């Protein structure tokens, strides 16, 4: 009897515990929690995307320089070979005659400076041969320097490529994490969240178009770029995209300024180096505005006026007019330029 009473008490305690509300650590994330976390991951993916674009721009620039230096190295090598063949014939002739010039022996030295210093003073070579020796030495030194430059540019290009691949992977990982969160919801919850997001984007598009219609867009190159960007309102954000209907932030500004005859790289950080720096209180329609974290630029938009800008925002969102404030999500205002 006593045992039965004890078991009943234990069962009551277990039932009581099971009826207690779940703690925050145990509870499934709410729809709003998931929505917030997904948005943060999408913003982080957009920042990683701009880091990837910057590394890609650097890699492309270094590759072009590397190819130029490699062409120079090939040209230098051909000149060295030409002089070496010519001087080799002279050395062969002197060897047949029983004695090779000391300066020509230096021809095959690992240090071209040795025969550069000796070539003009040794009496056993003619003035023409002395000039050839000097030309060969200069060409060989130039080839050595060019070869070192090739190796340097190649190393830098490999590092830039590695940064690009790492940041591109970060984009993929962030978006995969966002999708995993969405998959944690039930089908009904995912459908509801999709309807909420669609409704918010639709409202943003409507408000953006209405704002653009009543805004003074100014004149000049920046205003031409601004007008182009406004025509893209409602287009989706996609990492690495630069039109005609899909955009990331720097892809949009790059194409927008191309319509005004200005060539910009596909990178927010690289674009910040173009144009004239403009203080916050002197902004005009069409100025580029930059945002970032820890002194690294990872977002760009085009200023309109009265605290507004047009921009391609983040994965899962679209081109829209947004408030221009000292903070853009988790990013801080970095600066502005006028192209």
Burial profile 31-54: b = 16 or more Cβ within 10 angstroms, e = fewer: eeebbeebbbbbbbbbbbbbbbbb
Domain 31-181, second-level architecture:
Orthogonal Bundle (1.10)
pLDDT of residue 326: 87
- Would you state the pLDDT for residue 196? 95
Higher pLDDT, 79 or 303: 303
Work out the average pLDDT over 63-88.
80
* pLDDT the model gives residue 106: 54
* 215 pLDDT above the threshold of 80: yes
Mean pLDDT of the chain: 83
Instruction: Look at residue 149 in the predicted model and tell me its pLDDT.
Output: 85
103: number of Cβ within 10 Å: 24
Question: Are the CB atoms for 78 and 136 separated by under 8 Å?
Answer: no
Closest CA to 250 of 49, 64, 62: 49
Q: What is the mean pLDDT of residues 106-116?
A: 54
pLDDT at 261 over 60: yes
200-338 topology per CATH: endopeptidase fold (from Nostoc punctiforme) (3.90.1720)
List the single range of 112-126, 168-182, 230-244 with lowest mean pLDDT.
Answer: 112-126
Confidence tier at 140 by pLDDT (50, 70, 90):
confident
Residue 228 has pLDDT above 50, yes or no: yes
Residue 300 has what pLDDT?
A: 98
Residue 107 above 70 pLDDT? no
User: Nearest-CA neighbor of 80 among 156, 149, 143?
Assistant: 143
Residue whose tokens read 């969240």: 193
Q: What is the pLDDT of residues 273-308, one digit of tens each?
A: 999 999 999 999 999 999 999 889 999 999 999 899
- Number of helices (H), then strands (E), belonging to the chain: the values are 9, 9
Please say if the pLDDT value at position 42 is more than 90: yes
- Quick one: average pLDDT of 191-211? 96
pLDDT at residue 114, rounded to an integer: 54
**Exposure of 9 by Cβ count < 10 A (0-12 exposed, 13-18 middle, 19+ buried)?**
exposed
Please give the pLDDT value at position 306. 84
Which residues, at least 6 apart from 253, have a Cβ–Cβ distance to it below 8 Å? Answer: 225, 229, 264, 268, 271, 288, 300, 301, 302
Do 86 and 131 touch, CB atoms closer than 8 A?
no
| Same topology between domain 31-181 and domain 200-338 | no
Confidence class for position 85, pLDDT limits 50, 70, 90: confident
**Per-residue model confidence as pLDDT tens digits over 11-29:** 343 333 333 343 444 456 7
Structure confidence at residue 322 (pLDDT): 96
Q: Is the pLDDT of residue 209 over 50?
A: yes
Q: Is the pLDDT confidence value at 148 over 80?
A: yes
Stated length of the chain = 339
So what's the pLDDT on residue 21?
A: 40
* Residue 242 pLDDT exceeds 90: yes
Confidence band of 96 (pLDDT split at 50, 70, 90): low
Mean pLDDT over 142-163 rounds to 89
**Domain range list for the chain:** 31-181, 200-338
Q: Residue 224 above 90 pLDDT? A: yes
Q: What is the mean pLDDT of residues 139-166?
A: 89
């Amino acid at each position: 009897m006593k045992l039965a009473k004890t078991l009943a008490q234990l069962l009551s305690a277990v039932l009581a515990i099971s009826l207690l509300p779940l703690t925050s650590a145990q509870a499934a994330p709410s729809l709003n929690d998931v929505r917030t976390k997904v948005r943060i991951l999408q913003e982080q993916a957009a920042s990683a995307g701009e880091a990837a674009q910057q590394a890609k721009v650097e890699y492309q620039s270094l590759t072009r320089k590397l190819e130029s230096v490699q062409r120079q190295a090939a040209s230098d090598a051909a000149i060295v070979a030409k002089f070496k063949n010519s001087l080799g014939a002279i050395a062969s002739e002197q060897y047949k005659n029983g004695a090779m010039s000391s300066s020509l022996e230096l021809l095959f030295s690992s240090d071209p400076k040795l025969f550069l210093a000796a070539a003009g003073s040794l009496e056993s070579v003619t003035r023409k041969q002395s000039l050839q020796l000097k030309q060969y030495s200069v060409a060989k030194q130039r080839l050595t320097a060019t070869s070192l430059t090739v190796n340097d540019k190649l190393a830098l290009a490999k590092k830039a490529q590695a940064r690009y691949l790492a940041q591109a992977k970060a984009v993929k990982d962030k978006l995969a994490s966002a999708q995993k969160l969405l998959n944690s919801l039930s089908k009904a919850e995912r459908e509801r969240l999709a309807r909420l997001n669609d409704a918010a984007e639709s409202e943003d598009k409507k408000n953006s178009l209405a704002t653009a219609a009543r805004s003074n867009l100014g004149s000049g190159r920046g205003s031409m770029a601004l007008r182009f960007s406004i025509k893209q309102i409602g287009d989706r954000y996609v990492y690495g995209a630069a039109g005609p209907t899909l955009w990331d932030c720097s892809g949009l500004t790059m194409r927008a300024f191309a319509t005004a005859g200005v060539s910009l790289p596909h990178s927010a950080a690289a674009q910040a180096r173009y144009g004239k720096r403009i203080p916050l209180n002197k902004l005009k329609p069409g100025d580029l505005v930059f945002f970032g974290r820890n002194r690294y630029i990872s977002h760009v938009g085009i200023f309109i006026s009265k605290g507004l800008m047009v921009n391609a925002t983040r994965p899962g969102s679209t081109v829209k007019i947004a408030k221009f404030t000292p903070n853009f999500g988790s990013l801080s205002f970095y600066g502005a330029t006028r192209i």
